[in-house]
Amino acid sequence: MADEIINKVAEAGIEQIDLKDFLLKKGVVEIDLKNQLWNDFVLKEKDFRDWIKIHDWSVYENKVVALYCSADAVIPAWAYMLVTAELKNAGAVYFSSPEKIHEEYFFDQLKNWNVNQLLDKRVMVKGCSDIPNPEKAYVILTQKLMPVVKSLMFGEPCSAVPVYKKK
């Protein structure tokens, strides 16, 4: 009779968290207000409102939208407000360049994550995740988890680093 392999990690009841799960998994749709400027410099209210009326806003439904202006122009605050009002059916709207939106989305998801399902559980935070600003992410995650978890560890089950244990 062969020896049975026992998965001690599974038996330990450790909940594993991979911060990659908080990354934006779908594409970003961009709205660059530069395209609405006259001479790449000035936003004309009448022309802008006409664009608002004729633009097909349905293409942004359930999408993550990056709203920004890549030109060095002063855009009135009401312009961003008008566009945001039209994006009411978008999945999320960020005042952000496309390059920065992934980090903003990631940290929004992390900060808004409901950790109640981890109450009094042993938790392992997976290391070596390719995430934006990992040190900041680990600080936020630790602060979020300490009030609820029984214990917190970092790394892999074979080489876990104990971080916190409820007394």
Residue 42 sits in which domain range? 28-103
Q: Do 74 and 138 reside in the same domain of the chain?
A: no
Q: Are residues 135 and 71 in the same domain?
A: no
- Residue 5: CA count within 13 A, CB half-sphere: 3
- Asked whether residue 149 is domain-assigned, the answer is yes
Q: Is residue 77 part of a domain?
A: yes
User: In terms of domains, do 37 and 93 share one?
Assistant: yes
In angstroms, the CA 48 to CA 51 distance is 5
CA 65, CA 133: separation in Å to the nearest integer?
Answer: 21
Shared-domain flag, residues 54 and 19: no
**Tens-digit pLDDT profile for residues 11-36:** 668 999 999 999 999 889 999 999 99
pLDDT digits (tens, 9 = 90+) for 137-152: 999 999 999 999 999 9
Q: Total domain count for the chain?
A: 2
Asked if residue 157 and residue 120 are part of one domain, the reply reads yes
Q: Which of 94, 80, 88 is nearest to 24 (CA)?
A: 94
Model pLDDT, residue 99: 85
